[in-house]
Structure 1
């Protein structure tokens, strides 16, 4: 399988399956940290389902193409309350090489020593990853490129949209 195309319905169903898996593990957590951009929607929905505060950490290793670049992590986390909590769930859409999740979890533990337990959750876990997430919906042994429904906006601009309307 070279590419995996995901519809909005499949995307939302996958997030619900991820929530079910986390719930059934009976692991209690204080906060969700989503990795932006890919984990924004996942984190938002899980935050609503579990009624837990959401924090956002911008991290990126991809540009507008399929080439992986150097990982960039923001210098701060955005959150509305001052306490991180001792049990944190870090979410992203997928784990590819594993570099992003591995390095951000190290970064979080260094910056927030109050974190006693940290677990990770993704929708898709590719076999090529060196990092194994604690929770995932789909294991992908063939390492496909994943086309998510919102990616149509990656090659979209406001002027094109206005011309189409």
Structure 2
């Protein structure tokens, strides 16, 4: 459900539907790739699902550009020192995935980072995201939704940024107690 021009709220069901739509779009393009690089944190789930579907190795490039309250404040872009991957070398045809392009700076600089660190392996790179905002300086090769009004996207996993492990444990204790009460009730 959306609030016009300000917020887009995404459920788990909608999120996975978006990822599947992206996977089909890439498949139907006919492009063959032999490596997926996901940008962490937002691209982790997408990269995981795509590497399972395509049976293709996954590499992770950690990048951070947001922080502050509810991770909604843009900060300087920071990259990990290296890729995390299980293969000896990066593939030659690389699909770079993230959840969205807002300003597009993270995706654009990630491509530059990959080229400067692994360019000798790479013959071609393409990009895929779920949401492509009109405010982006780069257009991804594959995207599910183009967002002309550039809303703030509330993804289902963001709830974990607003809860502590202690609060989660308390919630689980309450749920266990409620389930225990339901089991103790006689059947009708």
| Normalised TM-score (structure 1) | 0.98
Q: Which has the larger radius of gyration?
A: 2
Aligned residues: 165
Within the candidate set 74, 99, 108, 2:105 is matched to 99
Within the candidate set 56, 59, 75, 2:60 is matched to 56
Listed as ranges, the gaps of 5+ residues in structure 2 are 174-188
Within the candidate set 86, 89, 105, 1:80 is matched to 86
Q: How far has the Cα of 1:56 moved from its partner? A: 0.6
Listed as ranges, the gaps of 5+ residues in structure 1 are none
Establish whether residue 147 from structure 1 lines up as the match of residue 151 from structure 2: no
Q: How far has the Cα of 1:114 moved from its partner? A: 1.4
Within the candidate set 5, 29, 32, 2:9 is matched to 5
Structure scoring higher RCO (CA < 8 A, sep ≥ 6) equals 1
| Corresponding residue number in structure 2 for 1:111 | 117
Q: What is the rounded CA distance, in whole Å, between the counterparts of 2:72 and 2:156 in structure 1?
A: 16
Higher helix share: 2
| Normalised TM-score (structure 2) | 0.86
Backbone CA RMSD of aligned residues: 0.8
| Corresponding residue number in structure 2 for 1:134 | 141
